[in-house]
Amino acid sequence: MVPMAATELAPGRHFAGLRIERLIGRGANGAVYAVTDPAAGEGPQAWRALKLLAPQGGDAGDDAAAEAAEAADRLAREAATLQRLVHPGIVRVHRAGGTQGRPWLLMELLGGVDLTRYTRPARLLPEPVVARIGERLARALAHAHARGVVHRDLKPANVVVDWAADRIVLTDFGLAAVAGAERTRTGLVLGSPAFMAPELLAGAPPDAQTDLYALGVLLYQLLTGELPFDAPALGELLRRIAADPAPDPAARSPGVPARLAGLVRGLLAKSPSARPPHALAVADTLAALRSGDAPAARGDASTA
């Protein structure tokens, strides 16, 4: 794999019929750019996000070649997955392709910030706002699950909140599983360990219930500023997820309403059958909780 720094596209350059405007971020296998798309006309509607993989070098070793192939496969899977999902809470894909040996994905350019900003104890959001975020995410998951798609990597970094546009958007479907599809090249279940359900760690395939567990971890973190299970070593973290009872978010953050805390504990249940039956039920419960809860005196989503 050629290092990304050596293959970044300069502002003003054209690539795949798009004009590169600025680099948004980079990772080990690629980068994301803000671009303008002449095919979309002029003005704000022309702005897009281009996810672009690094080219594979001719002298890449077997491991690097395998990693590049895996990254390209994930990008192709993400494109195919997003093209079957049309929902205001799921990032929209416009088109995908490959140019100069580099796979790419053209998506809507989102405003706002990802939810990791609000997982710090000093920046926690009011509980009703957390419930609203959870409701929106649950409805997006319900849309995906109804179409046989499991996200597999729900976490704050993969959720963008745009207060001005009143949007909460689920992103990064690179690990998404489609019902009936084969698992990854290595056979391993991929994802973020702290958000993985106990049954995944035991070798079960990802399904809608594993997404609901991850939603419970996300809500717990937004409410308390902590993960429900954490440890300095991966082995200890996995043991705690598998064996320790789910902590009560109200015990760590006394302002959390009892009904909201109960829902989060239910999402974190060890057994999938003990969790809510589906994402739509979670969304409806959170909507009811929001309508009945008075605003908490913690944080301010308009200025956070």
CA–CA dist 253, 109 (Å, integer): 35
Structure token digits, residue 56: 């594979």
Quote the DSSP letter at residue 228: S
In contact, 20 and 108? CB cutoff 8 Å: no
Residue found under tokens 């070649």? 65
CA–CA dist 12, 23 (Å, integer): 11
Catalytic residue among 153, 172, 211, 248: 153
Residues ≥6 apart with Cβ < 8 Å to 291: none
| Catalytic annotation present for 153 | yes
Q: Which of 218, 209, 208 is nearest to 179 (CA)?
A: 208
Residue type, 175: L
In contact, 170 and 155? CB cutoff 8 Å: no
CA–CA dist 209, 179 (Å, integer): 13
CA 28, chain centre distance (Å): 18
CA–CA dist 33, 142 (Å, integer): 30
Active site members: 153
